[in-house]
Chains A and B, each alone.
Chain A
Amino acid sequence: MAAAIAASLPTVQTAPTPAAPRQETLPASWNKSIDAEAEIPITTVQIDGLVTTKIIKHSLDSGSNAHGLLLGLDLDGVLETSNCFPLPNQSPDEDEKSVKSVGRYQSQMLRSLSEVGSVDSVVGFYQSAKLGAFFKQSLVEAQAIHQEKLRHGGIVIVHDTTTTSRGNASFRAFRLTKPFIEAHRRHNFSSASLINQRLTFSNILEEIPVKIRTNPLLNSVLGTLTESHRSPLSCALPSEATTSAIPPTYSTLDIGSVGLTRNLEQLIEAVDNHKVEESNLAYLSRQIARERLKADQYITKRREENAARIAQGLAPLPEENISRLFKIPPEPSRLESMLLLGQIDGFSKSLASASSSGLVTMYAVKASSEA
């Protein structure tokens, strides 16, 4: 029973002597980690085993677009996410009703979770992605909203379903960088603003190191589950000689480049999308240049006319507000094109890593077949 009580205490890795739960005074070693104003920056994100399994299940159940909220606490620079819950998929037309009902869903869920003693403070959200392409407008927008509401601005955990099915569960944590928040606050993604902030797709999000944690109770249960038992038959088939609830896998050793074609197709699609977006931008900027040229010509013409009139001793014509005569379109936002570049980068990164591990397995097979 003592072990159970010890396990149910909050994680106290920094404090050597955990205080009893009801004790009012905190241990002295905690003093430096108390931070009511959220001044200690987050350096690591710690994900609980429960959270990883929940995210994996939700991602597989709902296809590519699974997202939900992460619950947890931060302690001395480590953001501990200890629970999460999925959010219902929003319909593409975000009418007010669906937004409201999602809000109601969230508050009900949080209340219910706090009733059973679970953590009920939101620290960020999670999002599933395929083939490493997680740059999406929705993700960045959602994170920008959280940035203002949450302590520490909140984080997003991206889970890649493709690498997980290939045999290596991938969890990465991100938060928005300062230049991006600045640009987003001013709703200004024109090229001048991007140049000022030195903003490219690679510094929209900054990655935070991730740690996976399992609590002692989960450790012991996993230990029991991974234990292998010998078959009671003395000469059982090799595949049945030992049994275990969680058998060891070597799926990373599978030969053949799985899903490379799919990955290539997606990459080509992303490049096409980017091309379309770029030509839109080019069209818009040509239009801007044309209108501006017209306005300039008008002004110089009017000035020449006025100069002639003054020379003749007539009153100059008023210089009208040119913005009323010529509509110069606002400079287009480059956010979409930047995010598409980010997507291309994500796809090609996952393609590169898949092909490199493919190469290694191929050479390994060659070596073993020659031996």
Chain B
Amino acid sequence: MSFGRSSAVYIHQQALSSTSNQATEVSSVTIHPVALFSILDHYLRRKDEQARVIGTLLGTVLDSGEVEVRSSFAVPHSESEQQVAIDGDHHRTMYELHHRVNPKEVVVGWYSTGSNLNANSALIQNLYSQETTPLQAVHLAINTGLEESGKGAGVKAYISSPVGISPKPENCVFVPVPVELRFRETEKSGLDLLASASSAATGPGITQPISDLEALEQSIKSVTTMLDRVLGYVRSVLAGEVRGDPAVGRYLLDTFAASTDDLEQGGFNASLQDTLMVSYLANLVRSQAEISSRLALAATS
């Protein structure tokens, strides 16, 4: 690969050649909340003198070239202007331990906090790429939102491309790839719980799990407030106080035009009876279980 070209062209060529001789190419990255939260926790627990923390990303690679980052663990390292050292033993031990619980997850790359990429990053990237071949290692740069003022928290994903006439490990170009937060629908409630903790009025970041009915009550209340807001808006438009926004009007039409006529009365009553029946049954079984356990105590005494 000793062609004299400008680096931009070279990257392009590299991307093309990688499709021809590699099974897949990283097209996008998704990150699971667990991985993200582990990284934040690691960042909080870093030593004072550490400017940034790094660690390994585990996950799966889909056929489409999408890399799913599903968990992460911390790796101790030290770096200075001259050199960078990574605890390889720790990385291998942790990987083996993770592998025992979740054999499907493999090393897909590494993370670091802070958004600056330097020569050390390139060296670490080179190291991880050896583990993830034939795929390029994914590098996630997590900006925790604390280091640079004016920049909010954010996550960026990169893959690397060697650069220069003769590729050297400390030289590479980080090519950004799209990244998004991905979680299963069933995990959503866990995040909702955390979100309610982070915005709780009771105290700083503390909340209590609630029962099903309370959750339902909250949802219904929030829907009612939204309806009130819409009603207020519509009334003020009708009264001519506010000029109606046609876009909002169309959204409202779409939302409320959903017909509820197909909800026939008979079906409702039958379903209501079923649900009531189940509810009685559940309570009956509970009291029977309680009686049975009390009888076991009373017997033979």
Contacts and interface: CB of A to CB of B under 8 A. Distances in A.
Interface of A: 1, 3-5, 7-8, 46, 48-50, 52-54, 56-58, 60-62, 82-83, 86-88, 105, 108-109, 112, 115-118, 161, 163-172, 191-192, 194-195, 198-202, 209-226, 234-235, 238, 241, 245-246, 248-253, 257, 260, 264, 267, 271, 334, 337-338, 341, 344-345, 347-349, 351-362, 364-366, 368-369
B84 interface: no
B19 interface: no
Given A116-B76, A222-B195, A250 B188 contact: no
A215 B286 contact: no
A164 B254 contact: no
Nearest to B207: A212
Given A1-B146, A194-B297, A216-B204, A57 B34 contact: yes
Contacts of B190: 52-53, 56, 164, 169
Interface string B28-50: 00001110111011111111100
16 contacts: A50-B34, A164-B190, A169-B190, A169-B193, A202-B293, A210-B208, A212-B193, A212-B194, A214-B194, A214-B198, A223-B198, A225-B181, A260-B278, A345-B286, A353-B213, A357-B212
Nearest to B245: A234
Q: Chain A at the B interface: mostly helix, strand, loop or mixed? A: helix
B101 interface: yes
Nearest to A260: B278
Interface residues of B, number: 98
Contact of A241 (B94, B251, B268, B294): B251
B278 A264 contact: yes
Contacts of A362: 268, 271-272, 275
A282 to B, nearest CB: 11
A218 B282 contact: no
B40 A352 contact: no
Nearest to B42: A116
Contact of A169 (B144, B146, B189): B189
Contacts of B123: none
Contacts of B205: 213-216, 218-219
A362 to B, nearest CB: 6
A203 B208 CA distance: 23
Contact of A168 (B204, B210, B263, B286): B210
Tell which of B208, B210, B274, B296 has the most Cβ of chain A within 10 Å: B296
B216 A357 contact: yes
B283 A257 contact: no
Contacts of A115: 76, 87, 90
Given A49-B197, A219-B205, A235-B247, A338 B293 contact: yes
Given A253-B220, A366-B268, A341 B289 contact: yes
Contacts of A201: 289, 293
B292 interface: yes
Q: Chain B at the A interface: mostly helix, strand, loop or mixed? A: helix
Interface string B209-225: 11111011001101100
B87 to A, nearest CB: 7
Contact of B285 (A109, A249, A267): A267
B300 interface: yes
A264 B281 CA distance: 10
Interface of B: 32-34, 36-38, 40-48, 70-71, 74-76, 87, 90, 93-94, 97, 100-102, 144-147, 152-154, 180-181, 184-195, 197-199, 204-213, 215-216, 219-220, 222-223, 247, 250-251, 254-255, 260, 263, 268, 271-272, 274-276, 278-279, 281-283, 285-286, 289-290, 292-294, 296-297, 299-301
Contact of B187 (A4, A56, A108, A222): A56
A54 B198 CA distance: 18
A164 to B, nearest CB: 5
A-B pairs, top 9 by smallest CB distance, nearest first, are A165-B186, A369-B260, A352-B282, A200-B293, A351-B282, A219-B198, A116-B74, A355-B279, A348-B285
A352 to B, nearest CB: 4
A225 B32 CA distance: 13
Given A4-B144, A167-B215, 12 more contacts: A1-B146, A52-B190, A57-B187, A88-B101, A116-B75, A167-B188, A195-B297, A250-B223, A251-B188, A253-B219, A257-B278, A362-B272
B191 A246 contact: yes
Nearest to A369: B260
